[in-house]
Amino acid sequence: MVGKVEILERQRVHDGFIPVERYRLRHALFSGGLSDVLVRELYAHRRCVGVLPYDPQADRVVLVEQFRIGALDTAPGPWLIEVIAGMMEPGETATGVAHRESAEEANCTLQGLWPICDYIVSPGVSSEEVALFCARTDARDLGGIFGNEEEGEDIRVHVVDFDEAMGMVESGVVRAAMPIIALQWLALNRERVRDTWLGEQA
């Protein structure tokens, strides 16, 4: 549905690692007319890019593990298994970020990108959008600890058989939305992806 939104006031209320904006607004109602005045806070993110490197020859994926503050109070703890990801800087493209972050976080060279989807992470509180990719790579020599020290990154790289990765999703070891989406997409499209990428190598 495309409807009317009246922005009555927009104010930056916090500047930090995550900027926060406060809105006073009214929006169109399904029954007609406009809502009462609403006050909403919004985490004002930039666009994010995620990438799941996949080795079609070995049938293995590259995942990363790192500390995440959002999982601090969860029972399993704040170290999460994820896909490679990073924020898009002004002037960058999504594909450029995928290559840059793969090199920084995993010393991983991408040989081709397959778009998975674009999605809004948590639209009730955040404007963050993700461009998500699967990427062809050679995983034979990958692994280790990487990350940008200036950004406080401490990232462990895991190279995992596809079936093991899906088992990690089913058992709840993989708990973040981005890797779940990426791995489930690969599960649905794996035969097509392997046929395409292995055919290019032939």
Does the annotation mark 151 as catalytic? yes
Select which of 151, 164, 170, 200 is catalytic: 151
Scanning the chain, the segments in alpha helix (DSSP H) are 94-106, 162-171, 177-201
Backbone angles phi, psi at 75, to 5 degrees: -60, -40
In angstroms, rounded to a whole number, what is the distance separating the alpha carbons of residues 97 and 24? 34
Alpha carbons 156 and 73: distance in angstroms, whole number: 21
For the chain, the farthest-separated pair of C-alpha atoms sits apart, in whole angstroms, at 62
Whole-number Å distance between alpha carbons of 5 and 191: 44
Residues with a catalytic annotation lie at 151
